Amino acid sequence: MKKYLGWILLLPLLIYGCFYHISSSEFWPMTISKTWWNWSFFEPSQLQKPLFSFFLSFFHILPLSDLTHIYFVKFAFSLLGIVALYIFIKSAIEISQKQITHNKLILIALLFCLFSPIFLKNFSRIRSDQVGFLFFILSVYFYLIRRMRLSFLFAILLPISSIKSILFFIPLAFIILPQYLSYFKKLNFIKKLNLTLLTLAALVWAIGYNLSALSYLIATYQDASFPTVYLKNFVTVEMPFILLSILTSLWILLNKRLRLIPYALASLSSLALIVAIPQSYSYYIASFVPIVYLPLLTVLIQYGFQYKKVFVTTLSLCLLYSSIMMWKKNLPYFISSCPQILFISKASALTNLHGFNYLDGMGMLPRQNLIPCFASPSDPIANNGCREALENQPDVIIITQRLLELGNESFKVAAENYFQVYPNYWVHQKYKEEVEIKKGDLDNLPVPLIIFMVD
């Protein structure tokens, strides 16, 4: 039993991830990925995140309902998030050169989630940011155990996972570039050529299919409000750990701890990337947070048992501060997806029963006939596509915060040509005689405008 205690301790974390609130930007890739298997309706934007999107498409092969599909995907990404966390802690132990038992490793992983609320709340996100971190930490781990081919492979996968994942090359370069160059020099000509071509192919793919996304990223600098609310919350809540991490990195650099200097530089550069990118949403910040804290965690593992009282007291005070800030800013540690699931179960049953197509600006029903449009702040091209879809009057309009990016147009069209069956679930008037409106549904179900928010 003791042998499996660590894995048992991870079960609450897995359950936490499976039932955590699903953001609107998670539904879109989950749903639109099915077009990989129907090239007539293929969504080209998926080529900006091909590995991420193609992986999601395999869930559409299985004969699942909307709810089962969502649960399967959430389970898979919660599991991937835990794997990334496990490899991250294992890497920190390798760097510290300490011998730690498996159960203690799991305990450190759980404590890390407790000390970093932003990581805890985002490790299970259905986002390419989290996939990018997984590839990054796998590359670092295999480098640490001298499996250079595997390390190089996961590094190459970064630009194919998404354009933002290219940013992981910056901290990765500080850690492994010198060894990569040394490894590359020892290879024969054919292997050098293959690796060069593979690297160029990945970069050409990433740049070629991401120019529009890169242009959008640059354009957001003009309209970006700095700092974002997510960045403010991160800095406010995790201030003690951020400062400790910066001080640890500076201590490493000033004392010339040669073995730890690459990780200190990776930490500081990751913190700079969090601050520098205008779209610093919570899931993006969470993907770089472990790298920011890597030197601090390594030092804690290396010297924690030697100065136990000092470290326990310091970390306890930091945790107390973070908890107070979470309470003061009204930031819950957990937001349940149950209200979303309740609404989706009703909407899915009715939409499927009548074979309706639907428009919601995000794709909350992965197995139904979505009118493809993703309404987004500061993206007039995408929003114009949604307006055209709205003008064509789909069978069902589900008004979410995403559709409100179009202004009041969705409410106007719905009021003129549709009738409401569930809260914010509007069916076209031509189906008036076919659809039964049950007493209480409008009053008792969760409201999509509230439970499906823009992130």
DSSP states of 31-67: HHGGGGG-GGG--GGGGGSHHHHHHHHGGGGS---HH
**Where a domain ends, among 328, 357, 378?**
328
Q: What is the pLDDT of residue 287?
A: 95
Query: Is the same domain home to 156 and 50?
Result: yes
- Cα 18 vs. chain centroid, distance in angstroms? 14
Query: Is the same domain home to 179 and 113?
Result: yes
Q: Are 114 and 319 contacting, i.e. CB atoms less than 8 angstroms apart? A: yes
Query: Is the same domain home to 289 and 435?
Result: no
Asked, for residue 339, whether it belongs to a domain, the answer is no
Asked, for residue 341, whether it belongs to a domain, the answer is no
Tell me how many domains the chain contains: 2
Query: Domain containing 88: what range?
Result: 2-328
pTM of the model: 0.91
**Where a domain ends, among 294, 328, 362?**
328
Q: What is the pLDDT of residue 292?
A: 97
Asked, for residue 266, whether it belongs to a domain, the answer is yes
Query: Is the same domain home to 110 and 48?
Result: yes
* Partners of 336 in the β-ladder: 20
Residues 6+ apart with CB under 8 A from 317: 240
Asked, for residue 142, whether it belongs to a domain, the answer is yes
Helices (H), 238-379: 239-254, 261-276, 282-303, 308-328, 338-354
Query: Is the same domain home to 81 and 195?
Result: yes
Query: Is the same domain home to 193 and 65?
Result: yes
Q: Is 336 helix (H, G, I), strand (E, B) or coil?
A: strand
Asked, for residue 337, whether it belongs to a domain, the answer is no
Query: Is the same domain home to 63 and 197?
Result: yes
Query: Is the same domain home to 66 and 111?
Result: yes
Helices (H), 97-126: 102-115, 117-120
Query: Is the same domain home to 251 and 123?
Result: yes
Query: Is the same domain home to 12 and 129?
Result: yes
Q: What is the pLDDT of residue 324?
A: 92
DSSP state of 362: S
Distances (CA, A) of 389 to 30, 39, 81, 394: 20, 20, 36, 7
Asked, for residue 375, whether it belongs to a domain, the answer is yes
Asked, for residue 198, whether it belongs to a domain, the answer is yes
Q: What is the pLDDT of residue 49?
A: 85
**Where a domain ends, among 298, 328, 358?**
328
Per-residue HEC secondary structure of 406-432 comes to: HCCHHHHHHHHHEEEEECCEEEEHHHC
Asked, for residue 33, whether it belongs to a domain, the answer is yes
Query: Is the same domain home to 213 and 172?
Result: yes
Q: Which amino acid is at 206?
A: A
What are the 10-residue block averages of pLDDT along the chain, 455 residues in total? 75 94 92 88 80 94 95 96 96 90 87 92 94 96 92 88 86 88 78 78 66 56 68 93 95 89 96 86 93 94 80 87 90 92 94 94 94 81 85 92 84 89 93 82 83 77
Q: What is the pLDDT of residue 17?
A: 95
Query: Is the same domain home to 323 and 411?
Result: no
Buried b (16+ CB within 10 A) or exposed e, 362-374: bbbbbbbebbbbb
